[in-house]
């Protein structure tokens, strides 16, 4: 039995620190926007090398509030990838803006910068690259396009906290970064949580108001907002885990290396591509495999966790039928949905287990 992810193992390794932090936060009784939230915001801003960070209720809310903080709303267009978790497009859709999809680079599974400009219209306001599976999108080219057309760049870093692109941490490269602390992410809490990161003071100020019912001062409401705060208890957990993040991400990269060696002789499996000058965060270890059904059946029989991220591109989802996309619109994304398969990946996963997984796939 090798699960896709083993959160219990991680907890057991840091149990004393976590239990003490939870006990302290509960004892302090400042459950909403307590001291741990502010500390975490400061530490994450410093970790990424940005000026500001705002803790919110989830990664999805981070995207939503970040878009609103950039002044994006009804009838605006936002360019993003169809090969991502629904939340990326959902945030655009739910503020009344229109997601405009652009196909992916089949190597990195991220937005293909060469295809972006053809989709820019007078209504386009922003681009949301997603650093899928933990591999950074081609940020310099995306930023250059954005600059030329006066667009904002919002990084979806939900799967890539700690990843680097040309020596810079993702989440610190675009105008805004959005983090998710969903339990299975590189830095996960024990429930839902998220964060907005930016160097833009106006975005910071607006995001802080939006997460608190649109109020700067209690019971005075300047704009219509949300209840979307990161819990103090979750922040206390995250403060402990943040200290381990770099080590965990190194272990993920080590495991990816072991996988690549172990799968090197397998003609049906293609291991992940890693661009030059990139540090992959390997939130997921995703291969392409020719005979996917058969491979999944073998893994399941051996008790090895596996998952398809994602089986249906967003342009083909029922919810976005009103956008009028059809099969064949984004061939690279559709090809990916048919061939990708994610294998167990976490810091505590051992080399022997990886070799075992490769043998099952052989």
* Residues of this chain that bind ligand PLP (CB under 6 A): 58-60, 84-85, 87-88, 130, 156, 158-159, 180, 182, 192, 194
Dihedral sign from CA coordinates of 53, 59, 61, 67:
positive
Q: How far is the CB of 309 from ligand PLP (least distance, A)?
A: 8
Would you say 81 or 306 has its CB closer to ligand PLP?
Answer: 81
Interatomic CA distance for residues 91 and 60, integer angstroms: 7
Would you say 70 or 358 has its CB closer to ligand PLP?
Answer: 70
φ, ψ at 333 (rounded to 5°) = -65, -40
Interatomic CA distance for residues 283 and 280, integer angstroms: 9
Would you say 71 or 184 has its CB closer to ligand PLP?
Answer: 184
Q: How far is the CB of 180 from ligand PLP (least distance, A)?
A: 3
For residue 189, count other CB atoms closer than 10 A to its CB. 22
Q: How far is the CB of 303 from ligand PLP (least distance, A)?
A: 25
Nearest residue to ligand PLP, scored by beta-carbon proximity: 59
Strands (E), the chain: 52-56, 77-80, 98-101, 124-128, 152-156, 164-165, 168-169, 176-180, 194-198, 215-217, 220-221, 269-270, 278-279, 285-289, 340-343
φ, ψ at 130 (rounded to 5°) = -110, 125
Would you say 189 or 347 has its CB closer to ligand PLP?
Answer: 189
- Return the C-alpha torsion angle 277, 170, 78, 224, nearest 10: -170
Q: How far is the CB of 336 from ligand PLP (least distance, A)?
A: 14
Q: How far is the CB of 91 from ligand PLP (least distance, A)?
A: 8
Would you say 180 or 337 has its CB closer to ligand PLP?
Answer: 180
DSSP-based three-state secondary structure for 22: helix
What 8-state DSSP symbol labels residue 342?
E
Q: How far is the CB of 315 from ligand PLP (least distance, A)?
A: 16
Would you say 62 or 361 has its CB closer to ligand PLP?
Answer: 62
Would you say 113 or 188 has its CB closer to ligand PLP?
Answer: 188
Q: How far is the CB of 2 from ligand PLP (least distance, A)?
A: 22
């Amino acid at each position: 039995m090798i699960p896709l992810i083993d959160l219990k193992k991680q907890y057991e390794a840091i149990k004393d620190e976590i239990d003490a932090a939870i006990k302290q936060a509960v004892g302090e009784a400042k459950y909403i926007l307590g001291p741990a939230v502010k500390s975490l915001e400061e530490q994450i801003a410093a970790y990424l090398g940005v000026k500001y960070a705002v803790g919110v209720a989830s990664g999805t809310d981070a995207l939503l509030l970040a878009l609103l903080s950039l002044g994006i709303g009804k009838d605006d267009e936002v360019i993003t990838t169809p090969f991502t978790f629904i939340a990326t497009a959902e945030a655009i859709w739910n503020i009344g803006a229109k997601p405009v999809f652009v196909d992916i680079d089949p190597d990195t599974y991220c937005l293909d910068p060469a295809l972006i400009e053809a989709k820019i219209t007078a209504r386009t306001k922003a681009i949301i690259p997603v650093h899928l599976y933990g591999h950074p999108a081609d940020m310099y080219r995306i930023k250059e396009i954005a600059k030329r057309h006066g667009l904002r760049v919002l990084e979806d870093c939900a799967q890539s906290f700690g990843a680097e692109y040309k020596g810079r941490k993702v989440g610190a490269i675009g105008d805004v970064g959005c983090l998710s602390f969903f339990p299975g992410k590189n830095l996960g809490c024990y429930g839902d949580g998220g964060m907005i990161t930016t160097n833009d003071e106006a975005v910071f100020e607006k995001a802080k108001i939006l997460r608190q019912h649109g109020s700067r001062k209690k019971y005075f409401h300047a704009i219509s907002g949300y209840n979307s705060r990161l819990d103090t208890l979750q922040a206390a957990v995250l403060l402990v885990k943040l200290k381990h993040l770099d080590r965990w991400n190194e272990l993920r990269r080590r495991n990816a290396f072991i996988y690549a060696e172990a799968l090197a002789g397998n003609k049906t499996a293609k291991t992940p591509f890693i661009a030059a000058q990139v540090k992959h965060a390997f939130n997921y270890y995703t291969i392409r495999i020719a005979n996917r059904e058969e491979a999944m059946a073998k893994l399941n029989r051996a008790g090895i966790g596996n998952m398809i991220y994602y089986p249906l591109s967003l342009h083909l989802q029922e919810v976005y039928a009103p956008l009028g996309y059809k099969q064949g619109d984004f061939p690279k994304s559709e090809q990916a949905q048919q061939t990708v398969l994610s294998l167990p990946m976490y810091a505590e996963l051992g080399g022997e287990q990886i070799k075992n997984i490769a043998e099952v796939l052989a």
